[in-house]
Chains A and B, each alone.
Chain A
Amino acid sequence: MPLLEVKNLTKHFPIRRGILGREVGVVRAVDGVSFTLEEGETLGLVGESGCGKTTLVRSLLFLEPPTTGEVRFRGEPVTVADAQRFRRHVQIVFQDPYQSLPPRMTIGEIVADPLKIHKVGDQKTIETRVRQLLAEVGLDPARSGDYPFQFSGGQRQRVGIARALAIEPSLVLLDESVSALDVSVQAQVLNLLKDIQERRRLSYIFISHDLSVVRYMSDRIAVMYLGRIVEHGPAEDVVEKPLHPYTRALLSAVPSLRRRTATRARLRGEPPSPANPPSGCAFHTRCPLARPECAERRPELIEWLPGRQAACHFALEGTAENRRD
């Protein structure tokens, strides 16, 4: 049985105008997303800002309950009513290490608070647990009385990880958890996350706009565009032989030392507004392979190769000439 099953999840935000708050439209931030996640597995979610990946995460945590769709945890459906129970098993690490920690609590208090909220043990056991957790994420337990501002960005993100691990969740959502860090520090934190996953058999949903980081972390990758998954498959295949032209564009944008003379396939323009998505395939306005029918018919996410899905009418066409190296 998979750890997490998400079926056809949508999150729509109404657009209201005027003094009466008349609903004049809807922003389809997440528009029918389905996936499963096994125990101990990492699913990478990639996409540009505004593709709905952050909204998806917040819906999964029921911080903003989904509009429609189903979330099953270990086979049991999760509802708004028992979201609190669900949160004992699912935790999140945010992007900005400067905003995600309360500035006037010591890091010891920050890590201890989830234990207090869920009433895990007495004062003494909590103190021991906090010291263990800080040591586990590579921080000096003797500094548990220090405040977040006394730590570097990478160290703060470790505090955020310790806080998420405190109540021993089985799933951790990593929402751009290393994007705000220096590249050199990103590596430290990513390695730490992998070590923890191995030790605790955690599942991750790893969200980023940078495919190179996602590839390192994930078993499978789902690429999102305008609220939908456009490609989904094993991490290596998606990065090495992408099926969707959008995945290829994302890959070519990753800065690399070795490709410094090669010309890159640039993605023009910006993602369209999810309040007013293009007809047919949402990517056709920026797609280098777009043909007239792309504007008319929306491609479904279907399996083109074993275990590999893509939402593109011409998924197998672009692969040959665009194969990397």
Chain B
Amino acid sequence: MLREFGEYLRTRPFALAGVIGVVAITLIAIFAPWVAPHDPLAQDLMASFKPPAWQADGTWKYPLGTDLLGRDILSRLIYGARYSLLISVGSVLLGTAIGFITGLLAGYFGRWTDTILMRLGDIQLAFPFVLFAIAILAVSQERTWWQLVLVLGGSSWIIYARVVRSRVLTEREKDYALAARALGASRWRVLFRYILPNVWQPIPLIGMLNLGFFVIVESLLSFLGLGLTPPTPSWGTILADGRQVMMVSGWVAVFPGVAILLTVLSISLAADGLADFFDPKLTHGNFRRVPLPPAERADQDPADGAPLLRVRDLTTIFPTRKGTIRALNGVSFDLEKGSVLGVVGESGSGKSTLGLSIIQLLDAPGRVAGGEIRFDGKDLARLSNRELTAIRGKRIGMIFQDPSSSLNPVLTVGYQLKETLRRHRSLPPHQAHEAARQALSAVGIADPDRVLRAYPFQLSGGMNQRVMIALAMVSEPELLILDEPTSALDVTTQAQLLDELDGLRQRHKMSMIFITHDIALISSFADDILVMYAGHVCEIGPRDQVIDQPRHPYTRALLDAVERVAVTETSRLAAIPGDPPDLTRLPPGCPFANRCPQVMPICHQVKPRRVAVGPNHEAACHLIDSPPSAPSQYGTTAVEAGRAAPASSVVANDNRSSRGNSSLVETAEDARGTNSISSTDRGRGESNEG
């Protein structure tokens, strides 16, 4: 953690400067007696108002000059750091402590506890701070540091309380809090053991920012004569001393001012850096997509005759602190106009990344690292951002799993739909309303008028997803990408929605990419099916071929997993054991090898090539023996494709592993090091059943 933070600071000079500043000031404050050249209270009346050393009449005995009583300004500043920091840090600690406890209690217990505590906070905020300060400070003869802490800390707790309370309100509704109660945990246990660890995170950062603020407020109080009682030095009191002699001996006021400035600046920079470190999203927020450089091989596809979408060797990566996630590893396929491609895979297979890569909406730090995405002849990965906006949302639409997060929660459905209609079709208001009603009817909404008036939260998930589809259809896209559009919905709603989508694509001759984890779901809907695993295409082909004659063991496993209506109570469901591989450390061989029931030694060593196994049907598996004349039709070299491999030739081929050259032997050694090899022997000599 600390080392990671060090690494991170290297790339962030401002945060580094802030951290150095904070550390330096803290060290100076702690070791003041060793650092300071003089006693801060020692008077030297002979040297009253000595200017700094570099001015005429200055002396290096008092590098920053002296004040009225001849006390060394530098030493006073160094000791002043002690008191200024003590007061600020103390105030922050007091404020966070009170705020934290009240926030927790108000948020968790709600009702009257909440009402009383939060109204107290409101009063606190409405009450003039100076009055509060005078009430406590002005009456005491001897003002000590803890009185200032009481004033500053006691008046800032509400800030923390509000933040903690709102976080508790969210967390206590989560299932884990409910689960803890179901386990029989007491309310206090739920609050302190379960909820507390999830709500404190923003507090240190707010505290840091408040720390800087308190340094300033301390000087302000001293300026008003409410600071520490002289002669105790704090930056505020030194500044207050300097005020009276500002015209003649400016340095007395300037140096504490500089000290305050540098301290507050350091704290702010360090706090910003910390915030970004703990929430990397903030730094990546302004990430801009950079198009790929133009391809070296100017491969000009004539637009006519080519499929609507031609994806070749698409590679997408997510560079992270913990290594590069290889989300897509050379994905190739064609999508004809008006046809539906079903993309099937488990979580983490890269199926969602595929959709986002095509529409070029990858979240930072993800990016397309290679390959082509030719949409209507244009390579989307190489278009400029401006050219892309002419395509994205207009010619290519996208629907996500969770419709409620895709719709604006504070605008009515009607407003959002009519806005989109007006932008795309420049309709006058009354026509836009009618068009919006029609758009909703077209996706099977029976009472469009009610839905138009409703806010997204007033509608069910299925209804919101219909609205999303209606929105996407406004521009009549040629391609619609649907990423698990029905997975959050009931089976009944899912079935309805599939019917609507089927109707839409037939009416509009629209192409679709339908991404899902459930192969049964798209078996009635897709023309072609693409099976993905760990960012690789395992199998691709016409729907009936893939479902009735699957050639990849992973496809077979997915098909078995959904066949459960037929399963009786006595038998067991077919499950795929194990988990997908870590995408930052992909094995050198077939990515499915460690879960494959038919694994062979070669599978751990060599990545299988994609070969044709039927008309437009391809699979990447060592179990399939490919005649050299039938390589993938999606390969970079165009060879006669679509020749069916006779079923009898499908035998396990172990010879390939002995074909190895030196580099292959190396990867084999690697494989032995990283994969458990126990299952390898089992596969040897075993033929498959195709």
Residues of A within 8 A of B179 (CB): 92, 94, 100-101, 160, 163
Number of interface residues of B (CB under 8 A): 58
List A249-272 residues whose CB lies under 8 Å from chain B. 249-250, 252-257, 259-261, 264, 266-270
Question: Is A117 part of the binding interface, using a Cβ–Cβ cutoff of 8 Å?
Answer: yes
Instruction: Name which residue of chain B comes closest to A252, CB basis.
Output: B495
Question: Is B189 part of the binding interface, using a Cβ–Cβ cutoff of 8 Å?
Answer: yes
Residues of B within 8 A of A249 (CB): 492
Residues of B within 8 A of A113 (CB): 180, 183, 185, 193
Could you give, for residues 167-196 of chain B, a 1 whenever the CB lies within 8 Å of some chain A CB and a 0 otherwise? Answer: 000000011101111111110010001100
Q: Which of A88, A105, A252 is the one whose CB lies under 8 Å from B184?
A: A88
B555 to chain A, nearest CB (A): 11
Q: Which of A87, A118, A187, A236 is the one whose CB lies under 8 Å from B564?
A: A187
Question: Is B39 part of the binding interface, using a Cβ–Cβ cutoff of 8 Å?
Answer: no
Question: Is A155 part of the binding interface, using a Cβ–Cβ cutoff of 8 Å?
Answer: yes
Residues of B within 8 A of A76 (CB): none
Could you give, for residues 274-300 of chain A, a 1 whenever the CB lies within 8 Å of some chain B CB and a 0 otherwise? Answer: 000000000000000000000000000
Question: Is A213 part of the binding interface, using a Cβ–Cβ cutoff of 8 Å?
Answer: yes
Residues of A within 8 A of B493 (CB): 48, 270
B193 to chain A, nearest CB (A): 7
Q: How far is the CA of A108 from the CA of B496 in the complex (A)?
A: 43
Instruction: Please judge, given known A-B contacts A152-B348, A153-B347, A253-B495, whether A187 and B574 are in contact too, CB under 8 Å.
Output: yes
Q: Tell me if B346 and A182 are in contact (CB < 8 A).
A: yes
Q: Tell me if A255 and B494 are in contact (CB < 8 A).
A: yes
Q: Tell me if A257 and B563 are in contact (CB < 8 A).
A: yes
Q: Tell me if A48 and B499 are in contact (CB < 8 A).
A: no
Instruction: Name which residue of chain B comes closest to A265, CB basis.
Output: B495
Question: Is A125 part of the binding interface, using a Cβ–Cβ cutoff of 8 Å?
Answer: no
Q: Is the interface of B mostly helix, strand, loop or mixed?
A: helix
Question: Is A316 part of the binding interface, using a Cβ–Cβ cutoff of 8 Å?
Answer: no
List A134-154 residues whose CB lies under 8 Å from chain B. 152-154
Residues of A within 8 A of B462 (CB): 270
Interface centre among B189, B492, B576 (most CB of A within 10 A): B492
Instruction: Name which residue of chain B comes closest to A260, CB basis.
Output: B524
B494 to chain A, nearest CB (A): 7
Which positions in A face B, CB cutoff 8 Å?
Answer: 48-50, 58, 61, 63, 84, 87-88, 91-92, 94-96, 99-105, 113-114, 117-118, 152-155, 160, 163, 167, 182-188, 190-191, 194, 209-213, 215-216, 219, 235-236, 239, 249-250, 252-257, 259-261, 264, 266-270
With contacts A102-B194, A117-B183, A187-B574 known, what are 8 further pairs, Cβ within 8 A?
Answer: A50-B460, A87-B183, A104-B197, A105-B197, A154-B579, A185-B347, A250-B492, A257-B523
Which 7 residue pairs of A and B lie closest in terms of their CB atoms, listed nearest first?
A187-B575, A100-B175, A187-B573, A253-B495, A104-B197, A260-B524, A188-B575
Instruction: Give 28 CB contacts A-B under 8 Å.
Output: A49-B490, A58-B178, A92-B179, A92-B182, A102-B180, A103-B176, A105-B194, A113-B180, A114-B183, A163-B183, A167-B184, A184-B576, A187-B561, A188-B577, A194-B572, A212-B565, A215-B565, A216-B567, A239-B565, A255-B518, A255-B520, A264-B495, A266-B496, A266-B499, A268-B496, A270-B460, A270-B463, A270-B493
